[in-house]
Structure 1
Amino acid sequence: MKVFKYCASGNDFVIFNAGKKANRSELALLLCNRYEGVGADGMIVILPHEKYDFEWEFYNKDGSRAAMCGNGSRAAAHFAYYNNGVGSKMRFLSEAGVIEASVKKSGVEVVLGGARDIKEPFEFGGRVWQHCDTGVPHLVHFCENIEEFDKKTCQILRKKYNANVNFAQIIDDKLMKVRTFERGVEDETLACGTGMGACFYLAYLQKRIKDKVKVVPKSGEQLGFSLKDEKIYFKGKVKCCFEANYYFS
């Protein structure tokens, strides 16, 4: 089986083409395994679609499905452009809706769409949290120092609210730092596109940042976020690490 290994801001993915939809949870568990498989945070299956440039199936490393993944959507767009001959501006279907993307060399920008399901802030563990859905649900806490990131608290909140958990530090009105505990991976990841998008949008609503900023995840890369017509735009570099044949036993 031919597969491609991609990395987008520290998030890594196994990507391949398939002809039809299927339940590939067991395959995701196998390929995402870092010892016996390819190793990845998630698996992306690119499928043909009559109306859009393509459709995807997205799986977390634990085999669960996810409606959306910001970094994954950038990797999928890069793959479709360089391997499948899709145009540099494209639209593809995810479980969270239609995703718009544009590719220019190694840079990919996607439209995450609008944030929704924004709830009233609440307190937990001596910290204030707020819920925001940017394709998948997120909880956000604005902290004084990003090193306050607390994995134990994240694990509790992830199970209690079935959401990703983010710590965000606002450096100034054009720069933020974000660390994310991601469900499906069940650990901190080097970057989470939808998580950074949720932090950006909530900070903008609080008038603490501009409508165009840089966000730095744990990977250390500076990523671009902007808001246009209530839609969140997310831009950064994508890398195809290698292509390989995976042999099943």
Structure 2
Amino acid sequence: MDTQKITYLSGSGNIFTAVDNSFLNEPKEFYAQNSVKLTQENIPLNRNTEGVIVLNPSLNYDFEVWFFNPDGSSGMMCGNGGRSAIYLAIKNGYVPNYKDNTAVSFEMNGKIYSGQKNNDIYSIYFPTNAIYLQEKDIEIVVDGKTFLVKGSYVDVGTDHYVIETKILDNTDTDIDKIDVDKIGAVVRNHHEFQPRGTNVNFFAKTQESNVVRLRTYERGVEKETGACGTGAISTALVYFQKYKYISNPLKIIPTSYSPLFVDLCLNKNRIDDDLKTDFNLTNNDLIEAIENIVLSGFVDELK
């Protein structure tokens, strides 16, 4: 492939190989078969990327996005990939004469999303009609020791198992000391999440009520990544459900330390400000109370 047709993008530290397919007109199978090569060759900063974004023209929307993990798997939503696709689409003229804060629409993973640019911040809006959240405790074995993990399984177009580090049984709960690759791989392959497995998030509260630390093990990458957009959203939903925190935005600090922001846009007819601390949210209440979810953060081009 002509490397001049490839752009390398960082969505808050989530690194992607991005291709404008209008120049190449390759079928979807081409990118699935070549995803390993595309994420491992000719990469700036001498590092692999964490996924492939393919931009395509669309008859019904501003553009269409295909996303592939480094192992060639697809069919899942990628939040930072979607934000990065907005960057490339605006840069390459898919939205002529674009002005900040103007909505763009695109298809990704068979669903329709919208987003926008505001200065250096790129945002994507997630519909809530397909969100799933369930508390789920699992037992795992790491280095011959059995651990009880109390977490939540969340699906926002991509599924995640979300764990608060302070309730990891028998482990060091400092988020910086957790072996994300080792524990994440065990959870990712746990029988409860077969046959596909799941992404795994480890989060920790900070002294600031609107700031959360997050580390993510990504399925398909099979290691910790710099950031994860759907992981940030999944973590925000669990944080909201657990701590009844509904002030926006929630600032997520990923491994890259390039922040992501999650806004949970609430239905004002269902939740009033005076219910912030004592409203007993069931999982269904949580989903029904949120009208829209906005994921925002920086997108940078790597040279």
User: Greater share of strand residues, 1 or 2?
Assistant: 1
Q: What is the TM-score with the length of structure 1 in the denominator?
A: 0.90
How far residue 113 of structure 1 moved from its aligned partner, in angstroms, is 2.6
| 1:3 equivalenced with 2:23 (yes/no) | no
The match for 1:207 among 243, 255, 260 is 243
| 1:221 equivalenced with 2:228 (yes/no) | no
Stretch moving more, 54-63 or 84-93: 84-93
How far residue 46 of structure 1 moved from its aligned partner, in angstroms, is 0.7
| Equivalent in the alignment of 2:182 | 152
| Cα deviations by residue, 1:204-241 (Å, 9 ceiling, x for unpaired) | 01235334111100111222111014222111111112
Higher relative contact order (CA 8 A, sep 6+): 1
Contact preservation (8 Å) 1:167, 1:180 = yes
Size of the alignment, in residue pairs?
A: 240
| Cα deviations by residue, 1:111-146 (Å, 9 ceiling, x for unpaired) | 133262212331332220110012100000112332
Q: Which has the larger radius of gyration?
A: 2
Contact preservation (8 Å) 1:9, 1:71 = yes
Structure 2 unaligned blocks of 5 or more: 140-146, 167-173, 267-289
Contact preservation (8 Å) 2:217, 2:223 = yes
One-letter amino acid matched to 2:234: A
How far residue 107 of structure 1 moved from its aligned partner, in angstroms, is 1.1
| Equivalent in the alignment of 1:50 | 59
How far residue 96 of structure 1 moved from its aligned partner, in angstroms, is 5.3
CA distance in 1, matches of 2:21, 2:257: 33
Contact preservation (8 Å) 2:57, 2:64 = yes
Contact preservation (8 Å) 1:107, 1:236 = yes
Give 1:74-223 correspondences, 5 Å limit.
74-86=83-95, 87=98, 88-95=102-109, 97-114=111-128, 116-124=131-139, 125-144=147-166, 145-147=174-176, 149-150=178-179, 151-160=181-190, 161=193, 162-171=197-206, 172-212=208-248, 213-223=250-260
How far residue 148 of structure 1 moved from its aligned partner, in angstroms, is 5.0
Contact preservation (8 Å) 2:63, 2:94 = no
Structure 1 unaligned blocks of 5 or more: 243-249
| Equivalent in the alignment of 1:247 | none
| 1:67 equivalenced with 2:62 (yes/no) | no
Q: What is the TM-score with the length of structure 2 in the denominator?
A: 0.75
Name the Cα RMSD after superposition.
Answer: 1.7
CA distance in 2, matches of 1:22, 1:196: 28
Runs of 4+ in 1 over 4 A off after TM superposition: none
Stretch moving more, 77-86 or 205-214: 205-214
